[in-house]
Amino acid sequence: MAETAKRPEPRGRLRVLFVCSLNQWRSPTAEALYRGDPRLEVRSAGIRSNARRRIGTGDLGWANVVFVMEVDQKRWIQEHFGDLGLPPIRVLEITNNLGYMDTELQRALRLAIDPEIDALTGTGAPPA
């Protein structure tokens, strides 16, 4: 059975949480890219104890959907917060080899996230 995001309130925006390991490059870049999207409210966090901003129960309770960069981050969230009734967690497969706001990182994030957001908000075709 496919995961479906908790739908936002009728006039609300989809609440999206972007997660990587340290909340240093990938998830803050995704947050910056989508911050101005009127369909969304966005946050970013990391899973490691030394993350710039560490993920917490409040983030997961707030989010309609979570985008993680790697499958290990999804597993970590499920292991540490599995009793919360988690929102859907989508794995983007974005490797940790590019810096904050790097042009190639922005391109990779847009290619992975845009179809997902369009499908979740009903503004485009569902992701393949």
The per-residue pLDDT for range 25-40, each reduced to its tens digit, is: 999 999 999 999 999 9
Tokens 């922005």 belong to which residue? 106
* Burial of 37 from C-beta contacts in 10 A (0-12 / 13-18 / 19+): middle
What 3-state class would DSSP assign to 66?
strand
pTM > 0.75: yes or no: yes
Domains defined along the chain, listed by start: 14-118 (3.40.50.2300)
127 pLDDT more than 50 = no
The per-residue pLDDT for range 70-101, each reduced to its tens digit, is: 999 999 999 999 999 999 999 999 999 999 99
Q: Are 82 and 56 in contact (CB under 8 A)?
A: no
Measured distance CA(50)–CA(82) in Å, rounded: 21
- In single-letter form, the type of residue at position 49 comes to S
